[in-house]
Amino acid sequence: MTEGKNQVENVELNEEGFLVHPEKWNEQIACWLARSQEGIDNLTEDHWKIINYLRSYWERHGLAPMIRLLCQETGFSLRKIYELFPSGPAKGACKVAGLPKPDGCV
């Protein structure tokens, strides 16, 4: 646990709370990001479904998936995704999944 805590303490964030080194992400960091940056105290199974999909898509493609894929792959409706991550898919879900901030109006 101490080791885990240290791991989290060494995490570098940019000014907007995104990981400076997205490759250093792990599940413990995700919980900490959710709590400290997004105010989500408990990551539920539904949250993890989204986080895991985002993470694996990013590892394969180097960018965040379209919301269509996120909905279709997780089976969640748009509204459900916005409920789970109130800051939205980019600044909420992608941040917790340790992805870099996407370009554009986000």
Partner 1 sequence: MIEKNWDSQVKQALSRGLDFERAVQLSTCVRCGLCAESCHYYLVEKDVKAIPAYKLKIVEQVFNYYLNSSGRFLTFWFGSQRLKASTVEKWLDILFGRCSLCGRCSLNCPMGIKIHDLVRLGRSILAELGLVPSGLASTISTTINSDNNMGIKTEEWIGTVRWLEEELRRELEDSSVCLPLDREGAKILYAINPREAKFFPLSLLAVGKIFHAAGESWTLSSNYYDVTNYAYFSGQEALAAEFFRRLEISMKRLNCQMLVLTECGHGFVSARWEAPAWLGYQPDFEIRSILEIMADYVQQGKLKLDPSRNNLPVTLHDPCNLVRLGGLLNEARFLIRQSVKNFIEMKPRGIENFCCGGGGGQLAMTEFAARRQKAGQIKARQIKETGAKIVVAPCHNCLDQLLELNRIYKLGVQLKTVTEIVAEALVF
The residues assigned a catalytic role are 105
- Residue-by-residue DSSP string for 38-70: H------HHHHHHHHHHHHHHHHHSSPPPHHHH
- The residue from 91, 95, 96, 97 that contacts partner 1 (CB under 8 A) is 91
Q: Cβ neighbours of residue 28 under 8 Å, at least 6 residues apart?
A: 4, 7, 8
Which residues make beta-bridge pairs with 61? none
Q: Which residue number, 4 or 88, has a Cβ lying nearer to partner 1?
A: 88
Distances (CA, A) of 87 to 25, 60, 61, 96, 105: 20, 24, 23, 11, 13
When asked if residue 98 is in the footprint of partner 1 (CB under 8 A), the reply is no
When asked if residue 26 is in the footprint of partner 1 (CB under 8 A), the reply is no
- The residue from 35, 46, 52, 102 that contacts partner 1 (CB under 8 A) is 102
Smallest distance, partner 1 to C-beta of residue 102, A: 6
When asked if residue 35 is in the footprint of partner 1 (CB under 8 A), the reply is no
Judged by CB under 8 A, the chain residues 43 through 62 that form the site for partner 1 are: none
Distance from C-alpha of 1 to C-alpha of 3, rounded to nearest angstrom:
5
Residues that bind partner 1 (CB under 8 A): 14-16, 18, 38-39, 63-64, 66-68, 71-72, 78, 86-91, 101-106
